[in-house]
Amino acid sequence: MLKGRAFKFGSGISTDQIIPGRYAYLRSNLPELSKHAMEDADPDFICRVKEGDFIVAGSNFGLGSSREHAPLVIKMAGIRAILAKSVARIFFRNAINLGLPVLLCDTDSIDDGDELEISLESGIIRDVTNCRVIGFDKIPEIMLCILNEGGLLPYLKKHGSFDISSDS
């Protein structure tokens, strides 16, 4: 069970806003880079976020550049899951590869600051603050396998290659 505070964002948050290109020189210094997570979406985010919190967004979260540093700095900032109405495809795949759950659901009813409880196994998000329960879309099978192993590298260490048989 994951428990934390919701940080609410609008739609169309790009990976440029999540980790701006002007910090590219820090990409080989991830602890420093992670201090700039979400900076051009909310400059105060990094000061307020705590381990275990969630990002809750509108549609098309993570659009734009393929920079894996985007979900990486979000994870390093302490975020344990991203909830969004829709997510850009490269960002989604990158987040799963890092073991960061991305849950597609109707986020309209979740407000900034709401306390959430999330059970990945049962597919339920409980908004404790406004007493609502929301379900999220099933993650595609192969991505769920990767996520359950903790990311692409642990998955490959276990399987050796991509296992797309139906019982994987």
Q: Which of 12, 123 has the CB closer to another protein?
A: 12
Q: Which two tokens stand for residue 115?
A: 């306390």
Q: Which stretch binds another protein (CB under 8 A): 2-10, 92-100, 103-111, 119-127?
A: 92-100
- Please give the backbone phi and psi of residue 46, each rounded to the nearest 5 degrees, phi first: -65, -25
Q: Which two tokens stand for residue 28?
A: 């080989």
Q: 10 to 49, contacts with another protein by CB under 8 A?
A: 12, 14, 16-17, 20-22, 24-29, 40
Write out the E strands in the chain: 2-8, 54-57, 81-84, 102-104, 115-119, 124-127, 132-135
Site size with another protein, rule: CB under 8 A: 42
Answer for the pair 98, 144: CB distance below 8 angstroms, yes or no.
no
Binding residues (CB under 8 A) for another protein: these are 12, 14, 16-17, 20-22, 24-29, 40, 59-60, 63-69, 86, 88-90, 93-94, 97-98, 140-142, 151-153, 156-157, 161-162, 164
